[in-house]
Every structure is written in structure tokens, then in C-alpha cells.
Amino acid sequence: MDKPFLYDQDFYGWTQQQAKALEQRLVMELDWQHLQEEIQALGRQEYRELVSRLSVLLGHLLKWEYQPEQRSRSWFLTIREQRRAIHRHLRQNPSLKSRIEEALLDGFEAGVDLALRETNLPLRTFPEHCPYLFDAAIADNFLCDTRQDWEG
């Protein structure tokens, strides 16, 4: 079956065929254009994962800081979970560290939107730019100390 046709009509079949061609080093069987596109897409997916985790973390840090009377075990555990997930993701993808500043900016925009959705606070409550440094935001003892048990 034609490689580009297989890619468009049966993506799973295409992946299996390409994996087999790679395993057997059948260079002529490789769909180079689509392989390149898919590998680049995998990299973008890893970046999006980092931004997504940062969005949730930053949104909850904003809620924690700007609405202290509403703090909950759920917020505490979400902050803890996202910090751990970000650390794990960066251990598994250390090259993403080169894009930390960009990810923090992207994550902050979505984090503000999350905080707006989940609070009754107006947009003007939150800073225009991320008030947190990356290393501080992911530190267990920053703003919400997740090194210990929840004490509400």
C-alpha cells in the first residue's frame, strides 16, 4: 500500500509499518516526510504538556494568593500534584528547560483564565505578568507549602 495513502487512511497501520521498517532498517520503506512531521509533533506535545501543567499550577497559586479565605485541601493537593508532575516531566524531558520562560508566559495566561473561572474575582485582581519565578513556583515550600500535610 502507498505510504502517504496509508498515513491518511489508516494512521495506526502506518505507524506499525513505519516501526517495522525502522526496526528492519528498510530505508526505502520509510515515509520520511510524515515521519519528520510526527516527530516534530511529539516534541510540541511535550511542550504543551509542560504548559498545561504550569497553567493549572499557576492558576491555583493565584487562587491561593488572592482568595486565601477559600483555600481548600483540593487546591493544596492540586498544587502538590502539579509541582510533582512538572518535576517529573522535566526529568524525562530535560531539553524542555531551554523553553521554561516561554512556557511560564504561556502557562500564566491560561492560569489567569483558570483563576477567573474558578473564583468570583475580577480580571483586575490578578497581575498582568507572571509574578512568580519558575523555580519558586515549582518549589514545595513556595506560597503553599506542600512538604507537609494539609492544615486548613
- Residues 109, 116: Cα–Cα separation, whole Å: 11
Mean pLDDT of the chain: 93
Residue 143 φ then ψ, to 5°: 60, -55
Question: Is there a contact between 59 and 126 (Cβ–Cβ < 8 Å)?
Answer: no
What is the helix (H) or strand (E) element at residue 127, kind and residue range? none
Residue 1 has pLDDT above 60, yes or no: no
Q: What is the pLDDT of residues 9-38, one digit of tens each?
A: 898 898 899 999 999 998 999 999 999 999
Residue 3 has pLDDT above 70, yes or no: no
Please report which confidence band the pLDDT of residue 2 belongs to, taking 50, 70 and 90 as the band edges.
Answer: low
Residue 43 has pLDDT above 90, yes or no: no
- Residues 35, 121: Cα–Cα separation, whole Å: 46
- Residues 136, 103: Cα–Cα separation, whole Å: 15
Residue 25 φ then ψ, to 5°: 55, 45
- Residues 106, 48: Cα–Cα separation, whole Å: 9
